[in-house]
C-alpha cells in the first residue's frame, strides 16, 4: 500500500453553466427536505447572456482538488467514448490525476449536466444526465491506497458497495464518504453497516435531516451531529451553508465560520469543501485545520465559474496560515 495516496470514486461530467435572472423563489419551509423552490414560467423561453462549458462531476472535482494539494491521486470513474470524454480525460491528466484505473464505455455517452445558476447568490439547480457514470464497476481489487474518497454512486449499487466497505474494513483503509441521493435513501440498517466502516462522513444539513428523518431529532446542528455520529463513523461533518461547518469526533464539536466572498457559482461547493477537509486531515492530522482548509477551498471555488477553476493549490496555503 502506497503512502500519501488516495483513490477517489465517483462521477465525471461536462457541465453547461447557464445564468438566469427570470426566476421566482418560493418559500417551502413546511417541507424540511425542500425548504426553498425556484420556479420558471411554464412554456416560457428563458434567456441568458452568460453560458460556460466546464469540467465537473463529484469524482473528478474531488480528484482534481486533492491533486492540487499535492496528494498523489487516482480516479475511478467511467467515461463514454466521445469528444466530451476525451476532453475530461485530457483535463484530468493535465491536473496530474492518475487515470490508470478509469473505465471507458462504448455503449453509453459521457455524463452531461445543465446547471441553472439563479438569484443574487447564484445558487444552482442541476439537470443531470449520468450516462456512462451509471455503469461504473467498483473494481475494489485495484484500490491499493491508504485512503479512499467515495462520492455519489448510481442506484442499486448495494452489492458492489458491500464489497468496497468490506475491503476497506479488512485492509484498514480510511474511507471518507459524501453519499449521493440514492445512498442517502438506503435503509438505516444498511447505512449503519457502511458507516461503521467509515472514517469520515461529510453531508450538508439537509442530507443529515434526510438520514435522520425517521428519528426523533431536533433541527439543531449539535443534536444532528450527535445523533448522526451514532451510526458509527469516526468523524461526522455537517456543512450548514452561510452558517458555517461543524465536525464531531465523538468527544468534541468543532466549528468553522464561512469565508465571505462574492459568489459567482455554487456548483462544486460541497466537493471543494469535502476534498479540502480530507486533504487537511491527511496533511495536518487536525480536525480544526481540516475544517478551515475545506472552508477556504470552497470559498475559492464559489468565487469562480465552474467546479474546478477556483480550486486552491498547495502553493496557496501559506497565505491562509492554517
Query: d(Cα 20, Cα 46) in Å, to the nearest integer?
Result: 7
User: What pLDDT sits at residue 115?
Assistant: 86
User: What pLDDT sits at residue 64?
Assistant: 98
User: What pLDDT sits at residue 138?
Assistant: 92
Of 165, 211, 124, which Cα lies nearest the Cα of 9?
A: 165
pLDDT digits (tens, 9 = 90+) for 164-191: 999 999 999 999 999 999 999 999 999 9
CA dihedral over 311, 317, 318, 321, signed as positive or negative: positive
**Chain Cα centroid distance, residue 27:** 26
Cell triple for residue 62?
474531488
Fold category of 5-12+58-109+132-320 in CATH: 3.40.1190
pLDDT digits (tens, 9 = 90+) for 41-90: 888 898 888 899 999 999 999 999 999 999 999 999 999 999 999 999 99
User: What pLDDT sits at residue 3?
Assistant: 55
Query: d(Cα 254, Cα 260) in Å, to the nearest integer?
Result: 19
pTM of the predicted model as reported, rounded to 2 decimal places: 0.90
User: What pLDDT sits at residue 213?
Assistant: 85
The residues with which 204 forms a beta bridge, in sequence order, are 239
Q: Which residue has the cell 487536525?
A: 286
The low-confidence residues of the chain, meaning pLDDT below 50, are: 1-2
User: β-strand 245-248 against 253-256: which pairing, if any?
Assistant: antiparallel
Amino acid at each position: 500500500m502506497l503512502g500519501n495516496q488516495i483513490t477517489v470514486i465517483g462521477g465525471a461530467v461536462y457541465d453547461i453553466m447557464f445564468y438566469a435572472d427570470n426566476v421566482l423563489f418560493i418559500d417551502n419551509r413546511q417541507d424540511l427536505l425542500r425548504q426553498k423552490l425556484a420556479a420558471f414560467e411554464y412554456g416560457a423561453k428563458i434567456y441568458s447572456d452568460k453560458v460556460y462549458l466546464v469540467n465537473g462531476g463529484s469524482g473528478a472535482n474531488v480528484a482534481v482538488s486533492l491533486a492540487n494539494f499535492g496528494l498523489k491521486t487516482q480516479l475511478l470513474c467511467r467515461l463514454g467514448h466521445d469528444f466530451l470524454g476525451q476532453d475530461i480525460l485530457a483535463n484530468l491528466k493535465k491536473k496530474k490525476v492518475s487515470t490508470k484505473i478509469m473505465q471507458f464505455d462504448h455503449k453509453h455517452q459521457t455524463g452531461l449536466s445543465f446547471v441553472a445558476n439563479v438569484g443574487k447568490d447564484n445558487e444552482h439547480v442541476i439537470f443531470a444526465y449520468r450516462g456512462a457514470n451509471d455503469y461504473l464497476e467498483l473494481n475494489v481489487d485495484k484500490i491499493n491506497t491508504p485512503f479512499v474518497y467515495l462520492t455519489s454512486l448510481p442506484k442499486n449499487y448495494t452489492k458492489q458497495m458491500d464489497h468496497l466497505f468490506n475491503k476497506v474494513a479488512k485492509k484498514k483503509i480510511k474511507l471518507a464518504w459524501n453519499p449521493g441521493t440514492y445512498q442517502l435513501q438506503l435503509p438505516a440498517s444498511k447505512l449503519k453497516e457502511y458507516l461503521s466502516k467509515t472514517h469520515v462522513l461529510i453531508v450538508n444539513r439537509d442530507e443529515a435531516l434526510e438520514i435522520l428523518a425517521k428519528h426523533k431529532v431536533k433541527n439543531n446542528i449539535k443534536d444532528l451531529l450527535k445523533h448522526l455520529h451514532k451510526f458509527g463513523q469516526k468523524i461526522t461533518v455537517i456543512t450548514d451553508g452561510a452558517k458555517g461547518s461543524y465536525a464531531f469526533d465523538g468527544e468534541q464539536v468543532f466549528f468553522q465560520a464561512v469565508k465571505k466572498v462574492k459568489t459567482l457559482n455554487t456548483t462544486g461547493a460541497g466537493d471543494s469543501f469535502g476534498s479540502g477537509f480530507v486533504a487537511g486531515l491527511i496533511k495536518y492530522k487536525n480536525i480544526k485545520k481540516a475544517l478551515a482548509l475545506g472552508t477556504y477551498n470552497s470559498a475559492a471555488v464559489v468565487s469562480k465559474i465552474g467546479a474546478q477553476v477556483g480550486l486552491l493549490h498547495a502553493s496557496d496555503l501559506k497565505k491562509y496560515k492554517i
